[in-house]
Structure 1
Amino acid sequence: MILLIPAYEPDEKLNQLIESLQLKSNETMLVVVDDGSGPESEEIFSYAQRQGAVLVQHPVNMGKGAALKTGFSFIAETFPGHDVVTADCDGQHAAEDIYAVARQVGCKKSIVLGQREFNGKIPLRSRLGNKATTLFFALSTGTWLNDTQTGLRGFPAEVLGWLGSVDGERYEYELNMLLEARRKNIALESVKIQTIYLNDNESSHFRPIKDSIRIYAPLLKFSASSLAGFVVDTVLLMVFTTLFNYLLPAVVLARFGSAVVNYWINRQLVFAEGRSLPMRSTVTRYALLAVVLLALNYELLTLLSTNGNPLLLAKIVTEIILFLVSFYVQKRFLFRQRGHREVPIHDSHPEHLVNTDSPQSGIER
């Protein structure tokens, strides 16, 4: 097994993890990617090398996704044919869990995720973030994963080249990886692991606003598209009401105009695959979806309001439900290409490899 650890400004927890792995008494090969940590972290990385780690360095901080890609590329070139397990450097992953994931990926030959249970004392931002990402992933793929943000993952050697082609340079890369895996019908397995957070996860370099925007970009784009449609619908309604002096034709024409705007934005900007699909088929399916959503809107609103709920509350709940349904249908079916299963094997192209000096096994490049 080859263990890959991306690290940015690590502390002693990285070396504690390395010590617990007992590298010198087993066949584990450790590759650590220093993501531009700077001179303050030199002693930490030097100690890791003395314990047998191979060190790969970025000259500047490039993000966790970029560090993982560099590691995958280096491993594919230097140690071809080996499965890889990734773990974080902040003490969240125990050695026994790392080896449990390694055993599973060796047996299944699929991507294996270390699934945390999230019981006990968990930082609120971590608990809410994982729940939100799990919901988003289910809406996007139709697959429910209990832990989409785990950094403990196992990869068969065959997918290392493909991993380098997945978009994202920072925290969004790990979610994009899972989204692309489902789109290409690559199997995802899970192994239950311990949930470890030290000092409320204060050592994490996750930036709540910037990195959340990167992770949830597709859903945020869809929200913006829906808002744009609402604005267009409102403006057109006011204009057509003035022109016709009748509400019904004004409502119909305004809804048609907003639907055209919403369709164009979703096809061109929100769901990238939609641009390569025939417009005739997507327009037809979009129109059918609009009719179905309109009928559901009426039925849900009627059901909620006739059961004693205030009309405003019923309207808000209805719109939230239909928003999620619309995103799921458009992402999964309307703007998605149909194709055969792809085998994700590509050549690796190493980038940003600066320093691989290590006493381990006399490795040379």
Structure 2
Amino acid sequence: MTSNDEPAAPPSESRPTEPSPIVFLIPSYRPTDTLCSLLESLRLGNSSPIVIVDDGSGPAYAGIFARAKQVVGTTLLTNAVNLGKGAALRHGMNHILVGHPDCAGVVTADADGQHTVADILKVVDALKENPDSVVFGTRRFGSDVPLRSKFGNTVSRYIYRFFIGLKLSDTQTGLRGLPRRLLELCLPIRANRYEFETEQLVVIKARRMRVHEIPIETIYIEDNRGSHFRPLMDSAQIYFVLLRYSAASLLTEAADIVTFATAMAWSSDLVVSNIVGRFVAVWVQFTLLQRFVFRLRGNLRIFLMYFGLVVVSGIVSTALQVQSADLVPFPVVAKIMAEVLVFVFNFLFLRDFVFGESDDAACD
């Protein structure tokens, strides 16, 4: 049969292009019936897919999750044991990226009723209007908010602003609109509990992603007794994320000072000893910052900027030590004092200029 004898292919139908969906992601651990009510109400106002993650709640909660699964368009994922909110979010994100390849992003919400359907849909609309941005549903912390929550958020706002460089009204909100690109960047995060969301902020800042804040209603049910947040342990893990730079700097300074003291004992030359100490410490700190603090892949530009900072701060530190030689008779003490003075400047420069963007194109 010749090609002329082949049946003609049916004409292609022109179909309107449907917008990429926003998927709801709700991690849940030992929920109440509030979860089912939230899903049922959410379904009335929106047809987007819903993914809930049972984070090892156990057989006693199987009935609630079975009812939740019956809501149209809902997928239930289950962790065999309780792994933490971060692990549940990561499980859901991976499923969404694989099972919904056309999704534009995800809106995460808490399962305990702290987020109204109206506020969740407001975040959805904001994410649709700003598909490359991260949207935060931010609460107002008035006099009716539990004291521990109000105090914790106030303190964390300033700490996050300094260590991460993000100015957020509500650093602990669980109502977030995340573009698809951010989901891919968050999957390698190893944190499993509430510190996962702090690591997420580090990624947002490092990739220079735009941030939008949407005011939402502030709801605390029974003084927030339903929260599974462990004030001591979880706070320690969250703030360790923010204090990694300090830890890396202390380790680097230890290597620098030990090398400096050894070189001084051998040569008694202040300048040479500082140079030797800097060169020994430079690779130590760069590796720590790259792998454990800012969590980014480096390139030649990043290394050259970092090396330039090391040279400049080394010159400043040495000059301070020389100037204080008459006042401080012990060279090691003078070096420690000088390094303390340049510590904050080094951090801010590293945060905003050296490790402030990746090889990938920034969203700005």
1:1-365 to structure 2, matched below 5 A, reads 1-19=22-40, 21-24=41-44, 26-52=46-72, 53-82=74-103, 83-109=105-131, 110-157=133-180, 159-228=182-251, 263-272=282-291, 273=296, 277=300, 282-291=306-315, 323-335=343-355, 339-341=359-361
Residues in 2 aligned to 1:174 and 1:187: alpha-carbon distance in whole angstroms: 17
Query: Unaligned regions of 5+ residues in structure 2, if any?
Result: 1-21, 322-337
- AA aligned to 1:13 is T
Residues 134, 25 of structure 1: alpha-carbon distance in 2 compared, 3 angstrom cutoff: closer
Give the total of aligned pairs. 323
Distance change (3 Å), C-alpha of 1:194 and 1:255: farther
Q: Which residue type is aligned with residue 65 of structure 2? A: F
- Match of 2:243, SS state, is helix
Answer with 144-153 or 231-240: which moved more.
Answer: 231-240
| 2-structure distance, mates of 1:27, 1:274 | 39
Distance 1:151 1:170 in 2: 13
Q: Are the aligned partners of 1:106 and 1:156 in contact in 2 as well (CA < 8 Å)?
A: no
CA 1:112–1:124: 2 relative to 1, 3 Å: same
Shift of 1:55: 1.5
Work out the CA distance in 1 between the residues paired with 2:69 and 2:111: 15
Higher-Rg structure is 2
Q: Tell me if structure 2 keeps the 8 A contact 1:72–1:164.
A: yes
Amino acid at match of 2:231: P
User: Retained in 2: the 8 A contact 1:23–1:51?
Assistant: yes
> 1:323-362, CA deviations, whole angstroms, 9 ceiling, x for partnerless residues?
444322223334566645168xxxxxxxxxxxxxxxxxxx
Deviation for aligned residue 1:174:
1.7
Residues 175/22 of structure 1: CA separation in 2 closer, same or farther (3 Å cut): closer
- Asked if the contact 1:17–1:91 (Cα under 8 Å) also holds between the matched residues in 2, the reply is yes
TM-score by length of 2: 0.71
Per the alignment, do residues 204 and 266 of structure 1 end up closer, same or farther by CA in structure 2, a change over 3 Å counting? farther
| Structure-1 separation of matches of 2:96 and 2:357 | 32
The verdict on how the C-alpha distance between 1:88 and 1:158 changes in structure 2, with shifts beyond 3 A counting, is: same
Between 284-293 and 144-153, the greater mean CA deviation after superposition? 284-293
What CA distance in whole angstroms lies between the structure 2 residues aligned with 1:88 and 1:45?
15
The alpha carbon displacement at 1:107 in A equals 1.4
Q: 3-state DSSP class of the match of 1:130?
A: helix
> Does the C-alpha gap of structure 1 residues 257 and 124 become closer, same or farther in structure 2, counting only changes over 3 Å?
farther
Contact residue 268 and residue 274 of structure 1 kept, 8 A? no
Alignment TM-score, normalising by the size of structure 1: 0.70
Alpha-carbon contact 1:8-1:36 (below 8 Å) kept: yes
Percent same amino acid at aligned positions? 34
Instruction: Tell me how far 1:194 sits from its aligned partner.
Output: 1.7
Give secondary structure in 2 for the equivalent of 1:195. coil
Question: Comparing both chains, which one has the higher relative contact order based on Cα–Cα distances under 8 Å and sequence gaps of 6 or more?
Answer: 1
Distance in 1 separating the partners of 2:127 and 2:304: 43
Pair 203,106 (structure 1): closer, same or farther in 2 beyond 3 Å:
same
Stretches of structure 1 lacking an aligned partner (at least 5 in a row): 298-317, 344-365
Give the residue type in structure 2 aligned to 1:45: F
Q: Distance in 2 between matches of 1:338 and 1:5?
A: 29
Cα deviation per residue 1:27-52 (whole Å; 9 max; x = unaligned)?
24332110111112112212322444
Task: For 1:36 and 1:47, locate their aligned partners in 2 and report how far apart those are by CA, in whole Å.
Answer: 17
RMSD of aligned alpha carbons: 4.0
